[in-house]
Each structure stands twice: as structure tokens, then as C-alpha cells.
């Protein structure tokens, strides 16, 4: 099959491309390189450096594709409160341009990677049946993109599914970005002998998913008849952990001997966020094969292999006020 992946130079997109190539499919993809790296792109991929928001570019590079995985996203949930125009433009405009280009090219199926941010203020564990209650512009944008996809599929008759990966970790996760990926940020700082930062009391609880455990479900959603027309959480519902406990685990793995620096809470951050995997287990045979410790070890090993890096403040803050985290305004990392 001819398959197109947006965000193919990113963490999830590059792993997905590798797996599809190994299965014998033809894979092409695009990336604006805002958050991806060319080194992540497998050699056999037909790569296009294109921005998803550019419909004309998307319509051209997507020609001949039968299946589209839309993985590209400015995945900056916390930052979206302070750069909402940039984040929502990339998520909403970018997603709709991709969907429109796919329809124009008569793509048979679109798999959209949404976000756990769609659930927002709901009680944990999050179930797919819950009405979305996003608490930040990023989550609002993801829900808007989902709704656009569902409506366009209804009108134009293509197949679709919505995957909800959450807090994916593993090798090749970006670790020099100060705006996202808490485990990688902590590990990068600790491997430099620097104190990591924790917002608030550190009792925010999350559940982390190893990238390898996400791929089997995404492949089935794209290549089988399972999950069509459905929203499906992709990831574990075991081992939810506080940010404080995450820091302690990373201390053990990295050998870091210092303490974390606590800062004030980030506005609009959901305190407890993890998903039920029951639907993925029923529909897709999902099972957790890699533990949280495995994932954190892979994150640390990857940073050690390529070398710790200075953080790149590569995105502009649209809103600077007393609520904006000091880690960003003062570039503390």
C-alpha cells in the first residue's frame, strides 16, 4: 500500500514509518521540521519538507496515497495557553488542509492522532464515551480537528479513525525542547548535572506509554477493518505516576544526586490525566509489553547516545505576563 505520514521526522511519525516500511509498504511523508529532525526519517521514505497548513503543497505531495496517518502537530499543550494563535493555527488549519488534500486525492482512509487533552476536566480514567472537556487551546484545537474529520468523512465517504495516544516516551523523543516532554526535559537536565523543574506540588499524575506499544494499535487502525469510525485511546492504563515520583525514577536511572526546583503551577494544567485502555484491548488486542521503567531507560539511553543538548527556545511566546512560566520567560533551562 502507498501510505503518507505527516510529521514523519518527528518521534511517533518516524517510528511508524519504520514499522510500515518493514511490512513492505511504500511510505512517503512530510514535516515542517518545527519539532522533527531529518535524522529521524528512514532512508527509504520519500520525504517532503512541507507545512501541513499549505493545502496546495499537501495536495501535491499526497498524490497516489491510499492511506494517510496525520501525526503532525505542534504538541504544546502547556504552551498553548501562552501562544494560542500559533498552536491553534497549526492544529486546526494544518489538520483541515491535510484532510482536504486527502479527499482531493481520493485517499481511502485517514487515521488522525488526537490527544488526551481532549478529555480535559473529565474524571480519570478517561473513557472514549466521555464528552470532550478540553481545558486549553491545544485540546480545543484537537477536538475541532476531530469534528472536522468526522463531518468531512460523512459528506465525502472516506474511512477514518481517531487514535488518542498519550504521553508517549522512548528513543528519539525530542529532549531539547523546553516546552514539552516532561520526562525527556528532566533527563536532559539531569544528565548535564542540572536541577530539573517541577511545576506546583508535583502531585500531578500521568500515565506514560512506550512508543512500541502504540504502534501495533496504529497499524491495525490503518491496515485492518478494526476501529473504523471510532475514537480509541492508545496506551496503558497501568502505572500512573506523579511528577515527583517520575523525578525519583529518573534519579535512579541517571545517577543524578540533586533535587528538583519547584515553581508555581502552570495555568490550566489538568491535575490527573490518564486513559482507560479497555476499548483498545477489545477492538485492537492492545496490551502493554513495555513498562514505565523500560520507557524511561530508553529515553535516557537515547540522550546518552547522542549527547545531552542545550535547550532551544525556538518558538515565540505570544503572551508574556505574570502567569507565564519563568522557565520560558527567563529561559531557565
- Domain spans of the chain, in order of start: 2-168+208-234, 169-206+239-313+323-329
Is 72 within 8 Å of 125 (Cβ atoms)? Answer: no
Percent of the chain with pLDDT over 70: 100
- Grid cell of 159 as nine digits: 474511512
Is 233 within 8 Å of 162 (Cβ atoms)? Answer: no
Is 177 within 8 Å of 74 (Cβ atoms)? Answer: no
Phi, psi of 275 (to 5 degrees): -115, 155
Task: Tell me which fold the domain 169-206+239-313+323-329 belongs to.
Answer: UDP-galactose 4-epimerase; domain 1 (3.90.25)
pLDDT in the model for residue 192 = 98
Q: Quickly tell me which residue has 481545558 as its cell.
A: 135
**Mean pLDDT on 302-327:** 97
* Residue 313 confidence class, pLDDT cut points 50, 70, 90: very high
pLDDT in the model for residue 58 = 98
Strand residue runs (E) in 170-281: 197-199, 205-206, 209-210, 231-234, 241-242, 261-263, 272-273
Percent of the chain with pLDDT over 90: 100
* Residue 265 confidence class, pLDDT cut points 50, 70, 90: very high
pLDDT in the model for residue 11 = 97
Task: Tell me which fold the domain 2-168+208-234 belongs to.
Answer: Rossmann fold (3.40.50)
* Residue 323 confidence class, pLDDT cut points 50, 70, 90: very high
Mapped onto helix, strand or coil, the DSSP state of residue 165 is strand
Amino acid at each position: 500500500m502507498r501510505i503518507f505520514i505527516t510529521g514523519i521526522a518527528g518521534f511517533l511519525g518516524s517510528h511508524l514509518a519504520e514499522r510500515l516500511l518493514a511490512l513492505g509498504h511504500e511510505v512517503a511523508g512530510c514535516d515542517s521540521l518545527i519539532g522533527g529532525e531529518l535524522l529521524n526519517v528512514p532512508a527509504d521514505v520519500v520525504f517532503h519538507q512541507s507545512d501541513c497548513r499549505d493545502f496546495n503543497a499537501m495536495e501535491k505531495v499526497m498524490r497516489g496515497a491510499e492511506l494517510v496517518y496525520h501525526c503532525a502537530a505542534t504538541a504544546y499543550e502547556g504552551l498553548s495557553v501562552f501562544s494560542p494563535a500559533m498552536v491553534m493555527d497549526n492544529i486546526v488549519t494544518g489538520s483541515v488542509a491535510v484532510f482536504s488534500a486527502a479527499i482531493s486525492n481520493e485517499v481511502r482512509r485517514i487515521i488522525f492522532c488526537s490527544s488526551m487533552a481532549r478529555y480535559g476536566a473529565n474524571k480519570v480514567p478517561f473513557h472514549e464515551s466521555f464528552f470532550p472537556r478540553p481545558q486549553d487551546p491545544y485540546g480545543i484545537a484537537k477536538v475541532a480537528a476531530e469534528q472536522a474529520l468526522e463531518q468531512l468523512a460523512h459528506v465525502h465517504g472516506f474511512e477514518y479513525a481517531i487514535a488518542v495516544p498519550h504521553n508517549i516516551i522512548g528513543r528519539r523523543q525530542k529532549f531539547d525542547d523546553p516546552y514539552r516532554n516532561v520526562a525527556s526535559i528532566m533527563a536532559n537536565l539531569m544528565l548535564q548535572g542540572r536541577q530539573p523543574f517541577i511545576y506546583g506540588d508535583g502531585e500531578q499524575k500521568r500515565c506514560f506509554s512506550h512508543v512500541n506499544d502504540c504502534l501495533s494499535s496504529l497499524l491495525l487502525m490503518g491496515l485492518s477493518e478494526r476501529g473504523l469510525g471510532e475514537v480509541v485511546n492508545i496506551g496503558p492504563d497501568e502505572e500512573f505516576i506523579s511528577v515527583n515520583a517520575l523525578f525519583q525514577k529518573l534519579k535512579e536511572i541517571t545517577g543524578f544526586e540533586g533535587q528538583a526546583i519547584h515553581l508555581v503551577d502552570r495555568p490550566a494544567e489538568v491535575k490527573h490525566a490518564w486513559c482507560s485502555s479497555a476499548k483498545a484491548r477489545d477492538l485492537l488486542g492492545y496490551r502493554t509489553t513495555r513498562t514505565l521503567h523500560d520507557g524511561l531507560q530508553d529515553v535516557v539511553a537515547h540522550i546518552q547516545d547522542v549527547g545531552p543538548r542545550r535547550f532551544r527556545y525556538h518558538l515565540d511566546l505570544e503572551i508574556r505576563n505574570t502567569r507565564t512560566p519563568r522557565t520560558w520567560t527567563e529561559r531557565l533551562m
